[in-house]
Amino acid sequence: MTPGKVYLVGAGPGHPELLTVKAAKLLEVGDVIIYDRLVQEEILALTKPSAERIYLGKSVGLHESRQEEIFDVLVRKAREGKIVVRLKGGDPFLFGRGGEEAEYLADHDVPFEVVPGVSSALAAPVSAGIAVTHRDWASAVAIVTGHEANRDQSRLNWSALAGMDTLVFLMAVHTVGRVATELIGHGRDPDTPAAMIQMAFWHGERVVTGTLRTIAADVERAGINPPATLVIGEAVRLREKLKHSRRDLCRRPDMAPHFEPAPVPDQLLRMATAGMGSQVLRFALATSLFDRLEQWQTASELARAMGLNRIGLAEVLECLVSMGLLEGGPDGYRNLELASRYLLENSPQSLKPALLYQAAHLAPLSAVGRYLLNGREDGAHTEVEELQRQSCECLARYAAPFVLEKLDTPPPGPVLLVGWGGNRYRELASGRWPDLSVEVRNPFEANGTRDAAGTIADGSRRYGTVLFSGILSSCQREQFAPALKNASRTLKAGGLLVLHDAFIGAEVPAAPEVLLSALGRHVLHGGSRNWPISRLETELRQVGLAVLRKESIPGGTQLVIAGTP
């Protein structure tokens, strides 16, 4: 196996246009993207669809354990031969633990490269109209961590810092008072101008100005939250002249947190519109689940506290983990920082209004609620059928690019697609192989016949490929054999039968769509249904076909390609 490589990449202060060209190129090719809470969804949206995205943010107080986990993932994924992009806010070597990660990779003989980024230490002052050096006011600038101000034995030389022209403090929202006291105590003029810049180049950008004497109270009064950068020095005065300059690099004018906030974290929104996903999210929001999970809790503890069925709740929690909204571990489940930031109602980046809007339109809460109260004996609900249909469609749309990636060269045409994701397949295939004809039939759509066999047997046209998309999951078992028989009859000599399905779990972590559609099945049928591959092989043999290839699709589903042996 060719060895992989780890790129420690600076993601800049937040705006996608402030990525370096190299960083953007790496995002397009990276197999694994590891990111933390300073990296925004708009930047993650640049990754290729098949990339594995891993959120490894650090919560306060958990730095050490998280750092070990990060080291481990970097080394493991690189050893699997992957291109690993470790994205860090700003520049990786400025207070970003990039140095430690590079050292660890060097110690473990893992190839790596560091790609610098636009640091917030410089970008945040720019966004506020502050030039950190200026011929008239400032010839030197120091970049300092605010964490040190909280220590009794600070390693900082406060006398030297007090004499510095411009000071830029990172991570100083909670220590700004201590910083100001130290600097004034070491001789800096209390009337020195100061500014705190929150979320530069993000949606929640705000600037608070004052003097060294007043800045702590100003910051507190304004309710400034991290990430924010503190600038102290005469250079701050320039802001008065520059602050009104019109910027291209700002967010859309409609930044208010009404419906359809920006950025739209694409994955969450996709989930919110995916039938069962909207029920699960709505349940989580309606029961303040994210607030309840500020600390680790097991599914049993939580089920007891909420009076819910433990198995059902565990399934819902797993779905939320797969959507990247909760963290799961040996101690149970816990809120994820990034997710809570997006879900907070009063945050300018809040997703909550959008999610609730989608959920209210798509998902009555009752079905999942009843399931969580009663467990699996609850029986069928017609309202869930529509949700399950949406889950299947969503799963197929999610998987379509991976399936086509695996087919690689054009499959023999014409292609008949039976089942879910038809439009997505057609759109992707025509972009890739413009001459390939793709015909789509879905017997399971609303008001459909649900008769897969009949769907295939209605013409004399012969196909080079018949693609079954999710039909094992959707049709009754006894309906599958006739469908297979008709498909084999309609195949040209040497034609292929391609099956993509969640019928058998692949050895990879399950995607949200897979878990959600399994949950949908449980809510609907009160139990799970799987189709063992051995049985599929027997069925294929009976129509003269054999499995030629079997592949796992990211997301936990299987692709089986069969043909004449």
Ligand X SMILES: C[S@@+](CC[C@H](N)C(=O)[O-])C[C@H]1O[C@@H](n2cnc3c(N)ncnc32)[C@H](O)[C@@H]1O
Catalytic residues: 36, 58, 171
CB of 4 to ligand X, least distance (A): 24
Does 170 bind ligand X (CB under 6 A)? Our answer is: yes
3-state secondary structure of 280: helix
Residue 38 interacting with ligand X (CB under 6 A): yes
CB of 258 to ligand X, least distance (A): 23
The least CB distance from residue 136 to ligand X, in Å, is: 26
Interatomic CA distance for residues 533 and 535, integer angstroms = 5
Give me the DSSP letters along 363-378: --THHHHHHHHHGGGG
How far apart, in whole angstroms, are the C-alpha atoms of residue 512 and residue 554?
Answer: 11
Measured distance CA(1)–CA(81) in Å, rounded: 6
Between 96 and 413, CB nearer to ligand X: 96
Among the listed residues 201, 333, 463, 480, the single contact to ligand X using CB under 6 A: 201
Q: Which is nearer to ligand X, 121 or 268 (CB)?
A: 121
**119: contact with ligand X by CB under 6 A:** yes
Q: Kindly state the smallest distance separating residue 83's Cβ from ligand X, in Å.
A: 22
Element at 535 (helix H, strand E): helix 533-542
Which residue from 120, 209, 474, 558 is in contact with ligand X, where contact means CB under 6 A? 120
When asked if residue 226 is in the footprint of ligand X (CB under 6 A), the reply is yes
Stretch that binds ligand X, among 226-234, 341-349, 393-401, 429-437 (CB under 6 A): 226-234
- Which range in 49-57, 115-123, 532-540, 544-552 contacts ligand X by CB under 6 A? 115-123
Torsions phi, psi for 488 (to 5 deg):
-65, -35
443 binds ligand X (CB under 6 A): no
Q: Which CB, 226 or 526, lies closer to ligand X? A: 226
* Closest approach of ligand X to the CB of residue 123, in Å: 7
Return the axis-axis angle of helices 63-79 and 98-107, rounded to nearest 10°. Answer: 50
- SS3 track for 171-212: CCCCCHHHHHHHHHHCCCCCCCEEEEEECCCCCCCEEEEEEC
Q: Binding segment for ligand X among 227-235, 309-317, 351-359, 466-474 (CB under 6 A)? A: 227-235
Which residue number, 225 or 374, has a Cβ lying nearer to ligand X? 225
Residue 83 pairs in a beta bridge with 5
Binding ligand X by CB under 6 A: which of 4, 30, 57, 90? Answer: 90
Cα–Cα distance for residue pair 521/170, rounded to 1 Å = 49
Q: Minimum CB separation from ligand X for residue 284, in Å?
A: 28
Q: Classify residue 156 as exposed, middle or buried by CB count within 10 Å of its CB (0-12, 13-18, 19+).
A: middle
Contact range with ligand X by CB under 6 A, out of 42-50, 84-92, 367-375, 429-437: 84-92
In the list 34, 132, 171, 452, the residue contacting ligand X (rule: CB under 6 A) is 171
116 binds ligand X (CB under 6 A): no
* Cα 502 from Cα 555, distance rounded (Å): 9
Q: Give dist(CA 408, CA 401) in Å, integer.
A: 10
- Choice between 147 and 535, CB closer to ligand X: 147
Indicate which single residue of 202, 342, 420, 463 sits in contact with ligand X (rule: CB under 6 A): 202
Tokens of 83: 């291109």
Distances (CA, A) of 521 to 15, 320, 398, 529: 40, 17, 18, 8
CA 388, 391, 395 angle in degrees (round to 5)?
Answer: 145
In angstroms, the CA 436 to CA 426 distance is 9
Q: Is residue 480 near ligand X by the rule CB under 6 A?
A: no
Q: What is the DSSP string of 487-527?
A: HHHHEEEEEEEEEEESSS--SSPBPHHHHHHHHHHHHHHSS
Shortest Å distance, C-beta 58 to ligand X: 9
Region near ligand X per CB under 6 A, out of 198-206, 256-264, 376-384, 446-454: 198-206
Per CB under 6 A, the segment of 200-208, 302-310, 385-393, 418-426 that binds ligand X is 200-208
Reading the block at residue 58, the tokens are 């650090």
Out of 96, 411, 464, 470, the only residue in the binding site for ligand X (CB under 6 A) is: 96
Q: Which is nearer to ligand X, 117 or 443 (CB)?
A: 117
For ligand X, which stretch binds (CB under 6 A), given 113-121, 252-260, 318-326, 419-427? 113-121
Residue 209 as a binder of ligand X (CB under 6 A): the answer is: no
Pick between residue 97 and residue 389 the one whose CB is nearest to ligand X.
97
- Beta-sheet pairing, 228-232 with 166-170: antiparallel
Residue 164 burial class via C-beta count within 10 angstroms: exposed 0-12, middle 13-18, buried 19 and up: middle
Instruction: Choose which of 7, 95, 402, 420 interacts with ligand X (CB under 6 A).
Output: 95
At 160, is the secondary structure helix, strand, or coil?
helix
For the bound state, the minimum distance from the C-beta of residue 196 to ligand X, rounded and expressed in Å, comes to 9
Three-state secondary structure call for residue 401: helix
The smaller minimum CB distance to ligand X, of residues 129 and 411, is found at: 129
Nearer to ligand X, 200 or 320 (CB): 200
In this chain, which residue has its C-beta nearest to ligand X?
90
Contact between 218 and ligand X by CB under 6 A: the answer reads no
Judged by the rule CB under 6 A, the positions of this chain that interact with ligand X are 13-14, 38, 88-91, 94-96, 119-121, 124, 170-171, 197, 199-202, 226-229
